[in-house]
Amino acid sequence: MGRLLSIDYGRKRCGIAVTDVLKIVATGLTTVATAKLVEFIKQYVEKEDVERIVVGLPTTMRGEQSESMKYITPGINRLRKELPGIEIVFFDERFTSVLAHKSMLASGMKKTDRQDKAIVDEISATIILNDYLQSKLYNQ
């Protein structure tokens, strides 16, 4: 029984979150430079059993894929090639950055910390994974 891992994929860096082994709770793991993402994920799955990778799918308000997919698709295709035994799925990430900022405010985080985009990316990855978990719970 493996963990789920999520990626909030960005041009410069990617936020990473994981679940516990029972797939109940998603927790922010780290932020990784996009250029080092594949190597980081490969090293992580050598140590931890990962069942599935959930990648945030950037969509427009109309539900169409955004322009960001031009750089996300090649990166995820490379990840699929390097990790053929792990399922990789996309999941709608609309509003995760807004939700990340709201949760940072609600938690009382200092303004300087809220401006750290790496923290926002990690929280966004956590929100993506929590939303994915909830969607699976309600669709059973």
Q: Please give the domain boundaries of the chain with CATH numbers for all domains.
A: 3-138 (3.30.420.140)
Q: Tens of pLDDT along 113-130?
A: 555 577 778 888 998 998
Is the per-residue pLDDT at 36 higher than 90? yes
Q: CB burial class (10 A; 0-12, 13-18, 19+) of residue 112?
A: exposed
pLDDT at 120: 78
Residue 103, phi then psi, degrees to nearest 5: -70, -35
Q: What is the DSSP letter of 85?
A: T
What average pLDDT does the segment 15-32 reach? Answer: 95
What average pLDDT does the segment 74-80 reach? Answer: 96
pLDDT at 122: 87
Q: What is the DSSP letter of 12?
A: S
Least confident of 17-31, 36-50, 60-74, 109-123: 109-123
Is the per-residue pLDDT at 59 higher than 60? yes
Contact 64, 74 (CB under 8 A): no
Least confident of 15-19, 49-53, 124-128: 124-128
- Dump strand ranges (E) for 78-126: 87-92
Please state the pTM of the whole predicted model.
Answer: 0.84
Spatial distance between the Cα atoms of 136 and 134, rounded to a whole number of angstroms: 5
